Structure 1
């Protein structure tokens, strides 16, 4: 990889942010394009920011370098930010729905985007064996310290699902993963390939009203997070061999004092 000119990158990125803040969107987009020229791997997520400004198509997913950098930087404060400041309670909602529906216990769970282990910890007593995977090495180190997982991997989710030849799982979770993905087929297909028949796939997604999505399957929302149309989620699940057990409307988190509407989806592999 060519060496990045860190000084030029920081200058272009800060200029782009300032232009965006001032409302000069055309100039901001041009500056973000400069950022991408300097850093094609896109550690700063410039491509996602351009899409969030509704210029250009949304990328199929957030760049790996961006997601890895984002979570490596925030690993130490991650739980405090997510739980205390943003009111994130999806893992508890997962547990509640499983218990209400009388689902479980489970033999083998795969926790995609495990982070510091919030979902793994919440479901620990319902599962014999948990494997966690996250793109951020710092996050995985913190999860490891908690001693919640039998196995932990540092890897990109779609690559892992494609290459994994471990024993199949009867529960796969992906809480707060979809906001970093646009196209869902690789994730859903990969989950199906790594799951026993009748296994459960549980994930959260964020959404926006139909008039905002305007017939798009997904878009990048104002906080650089992907939002998905419920119709698209349903279509992709059906296409990859899942049937829906339930879709629950939830508030995923608070953002600038506003709730982020979304869904908690439980699907079963046919």
Structure 2
């Protein structure tokens, strides 16, 4: 639990959290206000106030009610960001969803790290059971078919798994990889992957930085399953992947798809990349398209999330 260092403020904050979970937005907002009055530097309470007021804004039944809730939500998220410049809770994302700031620069590494550190313990079961996650299997089949089209064996001496998480993709691809290395921003996720003994090499770090430290033409396969939903600008990723891939190597990945142009931040606080945009980036990086297919990789609230699997060749 977050702590402000003040027992009374912490108690108010705990009540506010409970009220928010139960859907009592008025009580959650009131208790969060009381918390920040006691502990004005406590970023989580400001963020919770923003969440409660944003929910009230979206459910407002009158213009005046909506405007008041919107203004307080924006102020609360701005205060949360002021108190936590590293933005571990994602205040920039929430502001972007309210039309404030650049959505393509809204997702901080600290937010992603904290999100998945907290998620690591229940990650596998929640994804595979609750969300019916199947990106690793979809990508495995796509890479197999792309390898066949490219007249190459479906075996890879050196493979890299970007945003490896707990190793769900690593488990699926391990039988066809000689040496398998993985990287993830979350140390807790990397530790979970390590326990599976699937990878020959693991690192906790930012994926472009990690790729940039690897030698030219040192990989035959680069994977990224459901990772690019947290990356707005894929150009540096494609550029580094093209550099580290040997001739004939493959870059396989999944994305959240949308029918418009470019990159958008969705209501689920994830990035969706249009197919045309992906193909433009591929050409710029010197990669060629081998396969592109639409399909849901997971569900959200029981509904399939539009997705697409790509395999690019070096």
Same fold at TM > 0.5? yes
In the alignment, which residue of structure 1 is the partner of 2:13? none
Q: Which runs of 4+ in 1 moved over 6 A?
A: none
In the alignment, which residue of structure 2 is the partner of 1:204? 254
Q: CA deviation at 1:69?
A: 0.4
Q: Could you give the per-residue CA deviations for residues 105-158 of structure 1, whole angstroms, max 9, x where no partner exists? A: 111100000001000100111111100111111111111111101100111111
In our comparison, the structure showing a higher alpha carbon Rg is 2
Give the secondary structure class of the aligned counterpart of 1:251: coil
Q: Please, which runs of 5 or more residues in structure 2 have no aligned partner?
A: 6-38, 58-68
**Counterpart-to-counterpart distance in 1, 2:111 and 2:253:** 22
* Larger RCO of the pair (alpha carbons < 8 Å, separation 6+): 1
**The 10-residue stretch of structure 1 (56-65 or 131-140) with the greater mean CA deviation from structure 2:** 56-65
Matched residue pairs, number? Answer: 261
2:183 to 129, 133, 138: 133
In the alignment, which residue of structure 2 is the partner of 1:253? 298
- Does structure 1 residue 109 correspond to structure 2 residue 109? no
**Counterpart-to-counterpart distance in 1, 2:219 and 2:107:** 26
1:72 to 97, 109, 117: 117
Change (3 A) 1:167 1:193: closer
In the alignment, which residue of structure 2 is the partner of 1:179? 229
In the alignment, which residue of structure 2 is the partner of 1:11? 45
Structure-1-length-normalised TM-score: 0.91
Change (3 A) 1:240 1:10: same
Q: Please, which runs of 5 or more residues in structure 1 have no aligned partner?
A: none
- Does structure 1 residue 37 correspond to structure 2 residue 82? yes
Give the secondary structure class of the aligned counterpart of 2:253: strand
Any conservation in 2 of the 1:61–1:180 contact (CA below 8 Å)? no
In the alignment, which residue of structure 2 is the partner of 1:156? 206
Any conservation in 1 of the 2:139–2:254 contact (CA below 8 Å)? no
Give the structure with the larger helix fraction. 2
Change (3 A) 1:235 1:167: closer
Change (3 A) 1:192 1:99: closer
Structure-2-length-normalised TM-score: 0.79
Change (3 A) 1:132 1:98: same
